[in-house]
Structure 1
Amino acid sequence: MSVYPFNVSTIRGEEKSLESYAGQVLVIVNTASKCGFTPQYSELQKLYEAYKDRGVTVLGFPCNQFGAQEPGTNDEIHTFCQLNYGVSFPLFDKVEVLGEDKHPLFAYLTEQAPFEGFDTEHPGGKILSSILEQQGLLEGNDIKWNFTKFLIDREGRVAGRFESTVEPADMYAAIEELL
C-alpha cells in the first residue's frame, strides 16, 4: 500500500487525493502555531524551496492535540504561516493524529513507521521523553508531539519517520537518497 489512496482536505476546504502527488517525494508533518518547535515552519519552507524543483513537496497538517498548541481556525493558521514563515508549501485542514478520530492517513503513517524514541541528547528530546514517560504516553507508535515528520518515497511508501526534535535540515541526506 501507499499514501496515494488517502483523501485529505486542503486548508481552504477542497478535497484532494494524495494520488495527485504520485511520483514525488513527500514530507508529511503535523504542525502547530504555538509550539516550541513552530520555528521549524521556516526550516520546512527552506527544505521545500531547496527541493521543490526536484520533485519534493512538504505537506503540513495542523493539529491541536498536543498542548492545545493549534487553537486557530484554518484561515488564522494559513495567515499565520504565510506572514510569519512565508510558507508556500501545501497546508491542509486541521486533523487529529491520535485517538478514535485519528485521520486514516496518520493511522497508516504510524503503522508503517514505528516510534523509535527521541534523541535524548537533544534538550527537547530529553524533556519530551521525561514528560511523556510520566504521563504513560511514551509507549506505542502514535505521534508523540507536534512536528513529527514522515518521509515518503516516489512510490508513496513511508521511507522514514523523524521526530519533533529532528530539524528539517537534518533530513536532507535521507531526501537525497530518494531522489
Structure 2
Amino acid sequence: MKLYALLFAILPSISWAQCPDWLDTSIHKLHSSDEIQLCNIVKNNPVLIINTASHCGYTKQFSDLEQLYQSYKDKGLVVIGFPSNSFNQEASNEAQTASICYKNFGVSFVMSKPISVKGTDAHPIFEHLSSQQGEPRWNFNKYLVNRQGDVIKRYESSIKPNSAILIKDIEAVL
C-alpha cells in the first residue's frame, strides 16, 4: 500500500508531455542558414502561430505581435511567424522580408523562411492547423496552440494581437 501512495505522490510531478508529431520538425530561420527544431523552442509551452506577409494591409500587426510576445514570453508564450506568398503579398526575397520584420518592426520572435500556408503545397504545419481549425483565409491568421499541442482556435486577420479575446484566450492557456 505504501508503494501505491508513493506513486500517487510522484506521478503529478512527472511530465508526460511529448512534442506533438506535427511540431516535431525543423524550420529554417528567416534569411539565415540556421535551422530551428520546433520542439526545442516550444518545450510544452503555448504557441501562437501566424501566417504573415510583408506587403499586406495587416503588416502593421507585426508591432502588436512583438508587444504581445514581449508581454507574455516570460510566462511561456512562444510566437512563431511564417511568411507566406500564398496570398501574393510577400516580399520577393528573404532579405527584404527580413528587413521588414526585423528592422521596420523590431520583431524578435521566431520567423521562418517563406512557406506556403494553403492548398496542396501547404507546409505540413499548416496542413495540420487547417485540418484542426480551418485554412487561413488571408494573411495574419493566428492559431493558438495549448501546452499539449492542441490547436485551440484560429483568429481571422482582423483580430488584432492586442484584442481582448486573443489576450483572454492566451492567458487561459498560460
Residue 24, structure 1, aligned to residue 45, structure 2: yes
Letter in 1 for 2:29: T
Alignment of 1:23-172 (within 5 A): 23-66=44-87, 68-114=88-134, 142-170=135-163, 171-172=166-167
- Residue 10 (structure 1) aligns with: 29
1:22–1:156 CA contact under 8 A, matched in 2 = no
Q: Distance in 2 between matches of 1:2 and 1:37?
A: 31
Between structure 1 and structure 2, the one with the greater Rg is: 2
- Residue 174 (structure 1) aligns with: 169
Q: Secondary structure at the match of 2:67?
A: helix
Deviation at 1:144, TM superposition (A): 0.7
TM-score by length of 2: 0.82
1:2–1:158 CA contact under 8 A, matched in 2 = no
Q: Which has the higher contact order (CA 8 A, sep 6+)?
A: 1
- Residue 125 (structure 1) aligns with: none
Q: Which deviates further from its counterpart, 7-16 or 89-98? A: 7-16
Q: Distance in 1 between matches of 2:80 and 2:157?
A: 15
Alpha-carbon displacement from aligned partner over 1:97-144 (angstroms, at most 9, x marks no partner): 122211010000011113xxxxxxxxxxxxxxxxxxxxxxxxxxx211
Give the CA RMSD over aligned residues. 1.4
Identity %: 37
